Every structure is written in structure tokens, then in C-alpha cells.
């Protein structure tokens, strides 16, 4: 979960002013958390509230995302999701936006089996992003996290993604010059996964993701969530990232981390 937050912070200042290089600092005084971090924590809170019984995860996810969304209304939500947050009767709206994937990391970390991870991903995603591509993007992200957490190799993860989700038939260097801003799962999640697969460390994964351009904070949040599961997160980076959370968000993070440990 902290990996997604660090990716969000690192990419925040580059979202609308892309920087296609890895020569930058992860944290800076003009970096900040966006809706990616808020919704990552909202889903994590929903999973935490289930206490291991995910029968009502969809309901908890809907309530948690609306509650935190309304607490942090200026975090950068898309128009449709913003309206969903403030709706008295929030219904799924056939979205395949990349928000489905950036918020799902708790499912990959909490799930005990691959089958359970997929079920959890669907539960937290379909409340808003119920388009097949939205569901696929979220599941692919959660599955990569679970496989990485379980000790699978990058080769294994690549093969699994190629077989079940996306054809990773490109390189980051190959797409960097022409990759443009895109908020869909199908044009964000594959690039985020590839950034992780080409990386040499957690920090390198984040920098590689940001360097692609496009929707930098969301792309790096997805990459960061997978990279955390594979590499772990350096203690100093974790501590620095937590400074960006206010008291309420930090409390959610701490609650979830205790259970994960």
C-alpha cells in the first residue's frame, strides 16, 4: 500500500507536465498526495473492516470511498467519479478508468489465495468501474501484487500477465518518446506492469514509471504497489512518504499495516 502512495507522490507534480527521465527526486516540496492515495487508503480501510470475511466487501468499499472522497473533495477525481462520491445512490457507471487499478493494492496484499485476490478485486472495483476493462485492469494489478508477494519471479509474472491480461510486447524505452496522457486501464496498467518488470529496485521502479509520461501519478502508483510486494520499501522512503499524510489518513494506514504484519 505504501508503494502506491509513494508512486502517487513521485508522479504528482509531473501529471500534467511530464518528465521523461529518471533523473529526479522522489520527494520534493512541490509533491503531494492525490486521489490515488486517498482511494488506495479507502479500499484498504474497507478490506480492514471486513476482518477476514469479505462477504460484504463491496458495501464497505462503497461506503469507505464515499466517506474519504467527501472528506478530501479536492484531490483530483475525474468528473464521473466525483459525482459518484457525492451521489445519494452511487451506482456503477461502466467506467474503465485507471482509477480502478491504482486503488486496489490492499486486495493483493490481504488476499490469501489467487482466487480470493481476484474475488476481492472484483468486489471493490465493480461498485463504480464495472466495465470489463476496468475490472481487468484492477485484477491484473492485484494479481501481480499477490504473485510478487508470494515470491514469484519477474519471468513468471510476465508470462502470467501475457497469458491472462495484456500482451507486454513493448519496452519502456520504446514507448517513452510517444506515450501520451491516457486515463484508461488498458493504456495505463500494461505500461505500469512493464515499468516494474524492467526495474532494478523499488526506487528504480518508481522512477521508470514516472519517466514514461502520461498519467504519471496513477501509473507510478500502480507500479509502486507491485514493486513494494516484490522488493519491499526502504525504511527512509516509507517514513518520508508518511509525512505527506494527515492525521486521519495516517491512522487508516497504521491500522491496516498492523493487520498486514
For 177, half-sphere exposure in the C-beta direction (CA atoms, 13 angstrom radius) is: 2
Alpha-carbon distance 234 to 204, whole Å?
12
Residues 188/182, Cβ–Cβ less than 8 Å: yes
pLDDT at 258: 72
pLDDT at 259: 65
Residue 13 grid cell: 507534480
Buried b (16+ CB within 10 A) or exposed e, 204-223: bbbbbbbbbbbbbbbbbbbb
pTM of the model: 0.97
∠ CA 120-260-98, rounded to 5°: 45
Strand locations in 129-215 (E): none
The label of the residue with cell 509533491 reads: 31
Alpha-carbon distance 184 to 170, whole Å?
18
Torsional class of 16: left (φ above 0), alpha (ψ -120 to 50), beta (otherwise): alpha
Other beta carbons less than 10 A from residue 154's beta carbon: 14
Residue whose C-alpha is closest to residue 140's, from 68, 84, 91, 197: 197
Ordered mean pLDDT values, 10 residues apiece, the chain (261 residues)? 97 93 94 98 96 94 98 96 98 97 97 97 98 98 98 98 98 96 96 98 98 96 98 97 97 84 56
Amino acid at each position: 500500500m505504501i508503494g502506491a502512495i509513494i508512486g502517487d507522490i513521485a508522479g504528482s507534480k509531473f501529471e500534467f507536465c511530464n518528465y521523461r527521465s529518471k533523473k529526479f527526486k522522489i520527494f520534493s516540496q512541490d509533491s503531494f498526495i492525490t486521489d490515488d492515495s486517498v482511494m488506495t487508503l479507502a479500499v484498504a480501510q474497507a478490506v480492514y473492516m471486513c476482518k477476514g470475511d469479505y462477504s460484504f466487501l463491496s458495501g464497505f468499499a462503497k461506503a469507505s470511498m464515499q466517506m474519504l472522497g467527501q472528506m478530501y473533495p479536492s484531490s483530483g477525481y475525474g468528473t464521473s467519479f466525483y459525482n459518484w462520491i457525492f451521489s445519494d445512490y452511487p451506482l456503477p457507471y461502466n467506467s474503465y478508468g485507471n482509477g480502478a487499478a491504482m486503488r486496489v493494492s490492499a486486495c493483493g496484499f490481504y488476499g490469501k489465495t489467487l482466487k480470493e485476490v481476484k474475488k476481492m478485486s472484483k468486489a471493490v472495483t465493480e461498485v463504480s468501474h464495472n466495465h470489463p476493462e476496468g475490472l481487468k485492469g484492477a485484477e491484473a494489478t492485484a494479481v501481480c501484487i499477490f504473485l510478487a508477494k508470494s515470491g514469484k519471479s519477474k519471468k513468471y509474472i510476465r508470462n502470467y500477465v501475457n497469458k491472462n491480461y495484456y500482451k507486454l510486447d513493448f519496452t519502456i524505452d520504446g514507448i517513452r518518446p510517444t506515450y501520451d496522457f491516457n486515463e484508461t486501464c488498458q493504456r495505463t496498467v500494461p505500461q505500469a506492469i512493464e515499468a516494474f518488470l524492467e526495474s532494478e529496485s523499488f526506487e528504480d521502479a518508481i522512477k521508470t514509471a514516472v519517466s514514461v509520461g502520461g498519467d504519471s501519478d496513477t501509473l507510478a502508483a500502480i507500479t509502486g504497489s507491485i514493486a513494494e510486494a516484490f522488493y519491499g520499501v526502504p525504511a527512509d522512503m516509507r517514513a518520508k512518504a508518511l509525512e505527506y499524510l494527515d492525521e486521519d489518513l495516517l491512522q487508516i494506514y497504521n491500522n491496516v499495516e498492523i493487520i498486514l504484519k
